[in-house]
Amino acid sequence: MQRAYKVTDIDEMTYQIDEEGVRFFLLEGKERALLIDSGMMIHDAREIAESITSLPVMLINTHGDIDHIGSNDEFDSFLMNPAEASNYYNTQKRNGAIIPVEDGDKIDLGKRSLEIISIPGHTPGSIAILDEERRYLFSGDPVQDGMIFMFGVQREMHAYLLSLLKLEKEKDRFDKIFPSHGSCPISTDYIMKLHDKAEALMNGKIAGSDFSIHGIAVKRYDTGIATFLLDK
């Protein structure tokens, strides 16, 4: 049975698609449209996108975790940072051709230009997508007020902290952050709030508790801003 979803207009050319626990986005230009991630249990995100827009639809993945690639099989190729290749092909056992995008790359949708910002830490190839004209940042998982997975060999807290500092330096270019989980949108203030809490956690100033998710034993740190899950 197909999972339920809800489409919300952010503006006349930007759409938010929510399924339970995760969301993805559709951005229209004048010549083409871009799907940011493809859902979790949903496997027809392309059809959903094509019911919203008449433009040809491309796919970009903020990273390769399972809850962001549910409909990737609908696409022969997709944009992704190549640092996610191991996560995508080896961990997730998925197929399709990566079209590489790197930090600073631009995507032209036709009178709508987007910029890639590399933000490793949550995963090695995590990216954010900046729409500077509309002052939107689509942040994937690293910037949110929900539950941030930082357990397992591909997660790295030092890199995560550096990525937050990088976004902080760029925050005069956007006003709203659209995460894949938690509240949406959130303000740019969350960047340094997350940084400071994550740094305090690493310095032993926030106590963790035992927790299990998907059968994996982890440490849960509720910071009051977001909840981090780390290796025990």
8 A C-beta contact, residue 91 and residue 154: yes
* DSSP codes joined into one string, 155-200: --HHHHHHHHHHHHHHGGG-SEEEESSSSSSEETTHHHHHHHHHHH
Q: Distance (Å, rounded) from C-alpha 128 to C-alpha 113?
A: 14
Q: The whole model's pTM is what?
A: 0.97
Query: Tens of pLDDT along 161-218?
Result: 999 999 999 999 999 999 999 999 999 999 999 999 999 999 999 999 999 999 999 9
8 A C-beta contact, residue 196 and residue 203: no
- For tokens 């539950």, the residue is 147
pLDDT at residue 60 in the model? 99
Strands 22-28 and 14-19: antiparallel
Amino acid at 100: P
pLDDT at residue 1 in the model? 45
- For tokens 């919203």, the residue is 52
Mean of pLDDT values over 40-57: 97
Vertex 48: Cα angle to 47 and 51 (nearest 5) = 85
Query: Tens of pLDDT along 91-117?
Result: 999 999 999 999 999 999 999 999 999
Classify domain 6-206 at the CATH superfamily level: Ribonuclease Z/Hydroxyacylglutathione hydrolase-like (3.60.15.10)
Query: Tens of pLDDT along 18-29?
Result: 999 999 999 999
Q: Tell me the pLDDT band of 2, cut-offs 50, 70 and 90.
A: low
